[in-house]
Chains A and B, each alone.
Chain A
Amino acid sequence: MSALPKVPTRLRRVAVPVVWFLVVVVVLAPLTQTDEARNLGIPAVVNRAQLRILTTIAMFVVMASAWNIIGGLAGYASFGNVGFFGLGAYTTAMLVDRDRGGLPFAIGLLAAPILPMLFAAGIGSVLLRLRGHYFAIATLGTSIALGEVIKNIDFFGGSTGLFPPILPKADLVFFYLMLAVAALAIVSNWLILRSRFGYGLIAIRENEHAAEVIGIDTTRYKVRAFVTAAALTGLAGGVFAQWTSFVSQDNVFPISYNVEMILMAIIGGAGTVFGPVIGAVGLEALIQVLAGGGSAAAATQVGLGVLLAITVVFLPRGVIDFFGGRSKLSLRAIRASLRETSA
């Protein structure tokens, strides 16, 4: 894992404008769907299905970036972040549900991060004392148990789930909403990496005892990182709840989301600002291209599993590392990394 790598100037001169251009295109293209654009004679360049894919990609950018704060920076591999997503989704769904909260979506969305943050603070102060495997499995178990308990309580919709009302013009609204949350997640990472807080987290990742010795309140830092990740993930859950108009345990507590967010962060480059973004965009685009119904979905999962295994073995520092000075995409670099870790 590395801090933000320095991109060589020659590559930077070409890559940065291209990336910005693509970002602007993706941000503006969906506007061609509106009635105004149609009246002006501008053809729609993205259809609704593509818009949904873009929204999903933005959602995973949020989740991978949020995971990066606790997993990539602090080095605590949380397998329970999907619990925050589910809590946020259920909060919004309960508040906007006609028979329960009956509140407008804006309020439901603003409330979405609150419960995840409280939950993260509560379980964080206990679970963040565990290290390594213990932390990973304890967080995994907590999120599974949370989903199971919610499913068993009829007030929360039971096994049927909740159905938030469908909003007009939903696709476009939710795309920009999710994009805004994604931007918030990226900016949060960027700010944290440049702050005392961020340096503290990296110190914890590299050597927790040493970090404590130099005066970092490690427990407080870790809990803060966990709570920040929970807030962002919960917000994405809130948007998701209203967007899909269907919230159930299977839908908003899937362990596969948690695996995907970790995979994205690792493949892109955990501990960096843009690594998780690159990973999320690349991997989710790949999944969407490959995914079909039925057996194609299973084949996709096989591919994902193999991809995960290969990445872990051959590219432990992620794709973004190859754009930096640290290692190059060469057999020699891979062999050197394998020598460090192999039996």
Chain B
Amino acid sequence: MSLVLQQIVLGFLTGGVYVAVGIGFSLVWGLLNIVNLAHGAFIVLGAYLTWFLFSKFGLDPFLSLPLDAALLFAVGYLIQRGLINWVIRAPVFFTLLLTFGLNLALVNGVLLLFSADFRSVTPSYAGSGIELGEVRVPLIRLATLAVAVLMAALVALVLNRTRLGAAILAVAANRDAAQLVGVDLRHAYALTFAIGAACAGVAGGLLSTVQAINPTAGEPYTLQAFVVVILGGLGRVSATVVGGLAFGLIEVFGQAAPGLGAGYANAIAFAILVVVLAVRPSGLLGRAQ
């Protein structure tokens, strides 16, 4: 019994990273209709910044998260403004290829700068945890989940309670009407993408605390972000939170199933994806289309 309980707790905690990874991806996809294949590269950039600040200056990884967000916000704004805006009305296929190209360039750029070696961020409290009866809760994992949920709430707040959010949602709902009431389209697109990238940067910072990172560490997360968003449903921040937590649970229990193991992580993820797409295309919480 306690083993099952421990697995459930682990599942939720694992889900924290997936929530963080999913939010930015979901935002960009839902509002800009761009499946950002460079999402994993953004995560890697955030992870390397956190690692760099930690190893060079001893900065606590959780304190570097705002810097990750700021860096990636700038990178995201420039990429959208300078590149993606040019093909935003082209068939979806083009943005897919464009972001794949960006991913390739960014990941290999990081590879050139920092080599393929695995890096890890190990603050003094890395191994500590809280004992709750027979269940052990790793401290860093718990903090990761808390930051992810906090970030989701923040994004929801910005979208639903600020003028900026209103402009972003207006552009997504009807670009012509938004333009008529005075929204600067290019700026709004760029800001949306920048917020998505900033979320990816924070996710990268979090990731560096729970696993060793290298330049290609972000790539699986692009795919997993996709699965998380499909699982939860496109269009709402809360749906991504549910999707991320559910994905964490499924992963923990899936890999514990007899005959399977960590080697099947992608196979399990994509089996879920295909089943969800076939059975309930709008996701767990998504609005029916």
13 contacts between A and B (CB under 8 A): A136-B35, A140-B223, A141-B223, A141-B269, A141-B273, A308-B100, A309-B102, A312-B101, A316-B90, A340-B89, A341-B86, A342-B87, A343-B186
A152 to chain B, nearest CB (A): 5
Q: Could you tell me the distance between the alpha carbons of A302 and B101 in the complex, rounded to whole angstroms?
A: 8
Give chain B interface residues in 100-114, CB to chain A under 8 Å: 100-109, 111-112
Is the pair B87, A149 in contact by a Cβ cutoff of 8 Å?
A: no
* A133 interface residue (CB < 8 Å to B): yes
With A142-B274, A312-B97, A313-B83 as given contacts, are A298 and B108 in contact (CB-CB < 8 Å)? yes
Is the pair A305, B87 in contact by a Cβ cutoff of 8 Å?
A: no
* B181 interface residue (CB < 8 Å to A): no
Cβ 8 A contact of A302, one of B35, B105, B265, B267: B105
Is the pair B223, A302 in contact by a Cβ cutoff of 8 Å?
A: no
* A262 interface residue (CB < 8 Å to B): yes
Is the pair B223, A301 in contact by a Cβ cutoff of 8 Å?
A: no
**Which bracket fits the contact residues of A?**
35 or more
- B171 closest partner in A (C-beta): A343
Is the pair B101, A309 in contact by a Cβ cutoff of 8 Å?
A: yes
Give chain B interface residues in 244-289, CB to chain A under 8 Å: 261, 263-267, 269-271, 273-274, 277-278
The 3 closest A-B pairs by CB, nearest first: A308-B101, A305-B105, A305-B104
A202 to chain B, nearest CB (A): 15
Q: Could you tell me the distance between the alpha carbons of A27 and B185 in the complex, rounded to whole angstroms?
A: 54
Q: Which residues of A lie under 8 Å from residue B118 when comparing CB positions?
A: none
- A71 closest partner in B (C-beta): B93
Q: Which residues of B lie under 8 Å from residue A309 when comparing CB positions?
A: 83, 98, 101-102, 105
Q: Which residues of A lie under 8 Å from residue B92 when comparing CB positions?
A: 132-133
Is the pair B267, A148 in contact by a Cβ cutoff of 8 Å?
A: yes
Cβ 8 A contact of B86, one of A137, A148, A299, A338: A338
Is the pair A145, B266 in contact by a Cβ cutoff of 8 Å?
A: yes
With A301-B108, A304-B101 as given contacts, are A138 and B89 in contact (CB-CB < 8 Å)? no
Is the pair A152, B264 in contact by a Cβ cutoff of 8 Å?
A: yes
- B93 closest partner in A (C-beta): A77
- Chain B positions 51 through 62: 1 when the CB is less than 8 Å from some CB of chain A, otherwise 0: 000000000000
Q: Which residues of A lie under 8 Å from residue B186 when comparing CB positions?
A: 343
Q: Could you tell me the distance between the alpha carbons of A299 and B98 in the complex, rounded to whole angstroms?
A: 18
- A152 closest partner in B (C-beta): B263
Cβ 8 A contact of A141, one of B89, B189, B266: B266
Q: Which residues of A lie under 8 Å from residue B97 when comparing CB positions?
A: 262-263, 266, 308, 312
Q: Could you tell me the distance between the alpha carbons of A145 and B266 in the complex, rounded to whole angstroms?
A: 6
Q: Which residues of B lie under 8 Å from residue A263 when comparing CB positions?
A: 97
Is the pair A137, B223 in contact by a Cβ cutoff of 8 Å?
A: yes
* A52 interface residue (CB < 8 Å to B): no
Q: Could you tell me the distance between the alpha carbons of A312 and B88 in the complex, rounded to whole angstroms?
A: 11
- A159 closest partner in B (C-beta): B263
Q: Which residues of A lie under 8 Å from residue B149 when comparing CB positions?
A: none
Cβ 8 A contact of A343, one of B108, B189, B226: B189
* B85 interface residue (CB < 8 Å to A): yes
- B115 closest partner in A (C-beta): A295
- B270 closest partner in A (C-beta): A141
Is the pair A308, B98 in contact by a Cβ cutoff of 8 Å?
A: yes
Q: Which residues of B lie under 8 Å from residue A126 when comparing CB positions?
A: 274, 278
Q: Could you tell me the distance between the alpha carbons of A266 and B101 in the complex, rounded to whole angstroms?
A: 13
* A172 interface residue (CB < 8 Å to B): no
Is the pair B223, A299 in contact by a Cβ cutoff of 8 Å?
A: no
- Chain A positions 135 through 176: 1 when the CB is less than 8 Å from some CB of chain B, otherwise 0: 011101110110011011000000000000000000000000
- A299 closest partner in B (C-beta): B112
* A130 interface residue (CB < 8 Å to B): yes
With A144-B266, A302-B109 as given contacts, are A138 and B273 in contact (CB-CB < 8 Å)? yes
Cβ 8 A contact of B111, one of A148, A298, A338: A298
- Chain B positions 169 through 186: 1 when the CB is less than 8 Å from some CB of chain A, otherwise 0: 000000000000000011
16 further A-B contacts with Cβ under 8 Å, apart from A148-B267, A305-B108, A316-B94, are A138-B273, A138-B274, A138-B277, A140-B223, A142-B270, A259-B104, A295-B112, A298-B112, A302-B105, A305-B105, A309-B98, A313-B83, A316-B90, A340-B89, A342-B87, A343-B186
* A134 interface residue (CB < 8 Å to B): yes
* A306 interface residue (CB < 8 Å to B): yes
Q: Could you tell me the distance between the alpha carbons of A148 and B266 in the complex, rounded to whole angstroms?
A: 7
* B212 interface residue (CB < 8 Å to A): no
* A307 interface residue (CB < 8 Å to B): yes
Q: Could you tell me the distance between the alpha carbons of A149 and B270 in the complex, rounded to whole angstroms?
A: 12
Q: Which residues of A lie under 8 Å from residue B185 when comparing CB positions?
A: 343
Q: Could you tell me the distance between the alpha carbons of A226 and B142 in the complex, rounded to whole angstroms?
A: 46
B34 to chain A, nearest CB (A): 9
Is the pair B87, A341 in contact by a Cβ cutoff of 8 Å?
A: yes
Q: Could you tell me the distance between the alpha carbons of A295 and B96 in the complex, rounded to whole angstroms?
A: 26
Q: Which residues of B lie under 8 Å from residue A137 when comparing CB positions?
A: 35, 223, 226, 273
Is the pair A316, B87 in contact by a Cβ cutoff of 8 Å?
A: yes
Is the pair A312, B87 in contact by a Cβ cutoff of 8 Å?
A: yes
Is the pair B277, A134 in contact by a Cβ cutoff of 8 Å?
A: yes
- B278 closest partner in A (C-beta): A126
Q: Which has the most chain B C-beta neighbours within 10 Å: A132, A305, A338?
A: A305
A79 to chain B, nearest CB (A): 8
Q: Could you tell me the distance between the alpha carbons of A226 and B146 in the complex, rounded to whole angstroms?
A: 45
Q: Which residues of B lie under 8 Å from residue A134 when comparing CB positions?
A: 277
Q: Could you tell me the distance between the alpha carbons of A307 and B90 in the complex, rounded to whole angstroms?
A: 18
Q: Which residues of A lie under 8 Å from residue B94 when comparing CB positions?
A: 312, 316, 341
Q: Could you tell me the distance between the alpha carbons of A309 and B189 in the complex, rounded to whole angstroms?
A: 18
Q: Which residues of B lie under 8 Å from residue A302 when comparing CB positions?
A: 104-105, 108-109, 112
B99 to chain A, nearest CB (A): 9
Is the pair A130, B101 in contact by a Cβ cutoff of 8 Å?
A: no
Q: Which residues of A lie under 8 Å from residue B96 when comparing CB positions?
A: 77, 133, 136
Q: Could you tell me the distance between the alpha carbons of A145 and B108 in the complex, rounded to whole angstroms?
A: 24
